[in-house]
Amino acid sequence: MEEGRQLNTWEGYVNWRNRPALRDRHGGMLAASFVLVVEILENLAFLANASNLVMYLSKFMHYSPSSSANIVTNFMGTAFLLALLGGFLSDAFFTTYRLYLTSAAIEFVGLLILTVQAHIPSLKPSIYASASTEIPFEKVDGHKEAVLFTGLYLVALGVGGIKGSLPPHGAEQFDDTNTQGRKQRSSFFNYFVFCLSCGGLIAVTFVVWIEDNRGWQWGFGVATAAILTSIPVFLLGSPIYRTKIPAGSPITTMFKVLVAAIYNNCKSKNPSNTVMGMETSPSSYGTETGEEESDTKVKVPSQTLTEDLKFLNKAITAKPASLMLQCTVKEVEEVKIVLRIIPVFMCTIMLNCCLAQLSTFSIQQAATMNTKIGSLKVPPASLPVFPVVFVMIIAPTYNHVIIPFARKVTKTEMGITHLQRIGTGLILSIIAMAVAALVEIKRKKVAVELGLLDSAEPLPITFLWIALQYLFLGSADLFTLAGMMEFFFTEAPTSMRSLATSLSWASLSMGYYFSSVLTSIVNNITGIFRHTPWLSGSNLNHYHLERFFWLMCLLSGLNFFHYLFWANRYKYRT
- What average pLDDT does the segment 544-555 reach? 90
Residue type present at position 234: F
Burial category of 308 from C-beta neighbours within 10 Å (exposed 0-12, middle 13-18, buried 19 and up): middle
Tell me which of 61 and 294 has the higher pLDDT. 61
Q: CA–CA separation, 166 vs 468, rounded Å?
A: 31
Residue type present at position 524: N
pLDDT in tens, 69-98: 778 878 887 888 899 999 888 888 888 899
Q: Compute how many other C-beta atoms are within 10 angstroms of the C-beta atom of residue 65.
A: 22
User: Which residues on adjacent β-strands are paired with residue 275?
Assistant: 317
Structural domain boundaries in the chain: 8-126+141-247, 249-267+308-327, 341-573
Q: What does pTM read for this prediction?
A: 0.79
Question: What pLDDT was estimated at residue 22?
Answer: 83
Q: CA–CA separation, 45 vs 256, rounded Å?
A: 40
Question: What pLDDT was estimated at residue 571?
Answer: 84
Question: What pLDDT was estimated at residue 207?
Answer: 84
Using 50, 70 and 90 to split pLDDT, how confident is the model at 141? Answer: low
Residues 341-573: name the CATH superfamily. MFS general substrate transporter like domains (1.20.1250.20)
pLDDT in tens, 397-452: 888 888 889 888 888 888 888 899 999 999 999 999 999 899 989 988 888 888 88
- Fold annotation for 8-126+141-247: Growth Hormone; Chain: A; (1.20.1250)
Residue type present at position 227: I
Q: Where are the alpha helices (DSSP H) in 203-328?
A: 208-213, 216-236, 250-266, 286-293
Q: Is the pLDDT of residue 292 over 50?
A: no
Q: Is the pLDDT of residue 297 over 80?
A: no
Q: CA–CA separation, 336 vs 530, rounded Å?
A: 48
pLDDT in tens, 182-225: 888 988 998 998 998 899 888 888 888 887 788 778 888 899 99
Q: CA–CA separation, 539 vs 526, rounded Å?
A: 17
